[in-house]
Structure 1
């Protein structure tokens, strides 16, 4: 069963969708077979909360976290990731977190946490994506690490 709900704010969309999801669960439909898509992360949490409310009210086993409730963007990302076998797709948040984690580990900067997160990490991320756009992958950098370091040092001395 597919259902599309289009209505103005405050008209009860979340309540109606949550009630329908609870009815599906009560009628034996598996939580894995239910997908709810909305626009914002806030709406995702509101929908989950309301579904949990009805699950509790009707004594239905499980919870809303067993159901795929996601944003359009989250759903598209999941579908792309699955179709590409997680080959080349990684979310901006994951990239930024990994950069931040590494900078923290090696104590690379003495800047404030906010400056690193708001200014430096986006610049580093963009630089990495730019490098990748030339077909240079992490394994290439690892393989040619020593030559790259020598080249960068020479460039630094020339501009020095």
Structure 2
């Protein structure tokens, strides 16, 4: 018998109002669970009622539940709804954005972070400090602008730095992706760089060397951008400042290096729920992976498969599929909330097809999503 009966009328009414599929998700207390839910399917209500159900059906307390979402508004909406179910005990439930959760870890364990004097950097300072580095470039540097605007690339450099931190991409990772991509197009594997018909100066099957050299030049600039970003991050460290995205990566490093502390979080949070899972970036996904890196974790993710499959955002595109692959042998339960949604297998097949046909997705992400091909690569 649970020591945490949830007898409030608000909770009972909310539970009874669920449709059969929603109840199926709410009643699946233990083990991994993926809920595929489109817009307007009452995801906040579903998550709130499931938390109430956990407290009703188990002996765990609110302090053993962690709910991660993406906005402060989402946090407040969740907490307000839970307060109507369980009263002031809702304040004991860990409801955070990913950044707020990592900030809490840092605040709770200052002994691991020598950051007493560290301060977050402002948006204005980001531009000023990046301009400081750019102003010191010599004429032989690929990003040197000569008589043009010397700071035209600053905004894109800041964006690239943010993306790399969000996705957990190191300089070596990006450089390897670039080298692999260039090797691929030089080998003739990509039809875009191979003549498909005979022309005046080329035979069918010849490589388009002019186009290949153009891409090599573009990626020379990209690698140069990585040098500038490395200098920027060293400057942050020297001046004891940090970017917003740094907090998540610091916590990842701590969890990876300190198994004892990570195990404490495994013990504390027996149930983990994540909203808008398809929007998690690489670093956020790594936090979740570490928090559930043991046998049969009680983890629930809620995501919109339409957004996940058709987003075309590089490393983010496989989150739903990766979760399914990871727990497919561990009793994963999948609940689809709308009858007109595709079957689970269709979803996974579609994700597989996209990933298989998007081999240089990191490069595509850098070029297309943030238009760096226009501003970082294509210098006049």
> Comparing both chains, which one has the higher relative contact order based on Cα–Cα distances under 8 Å and sequence gaps of 6 or more?
2
TM-score (norm 1): 0.49
Higher helix share: 1
* TM-score, normalised relative to structure 2: 0.23
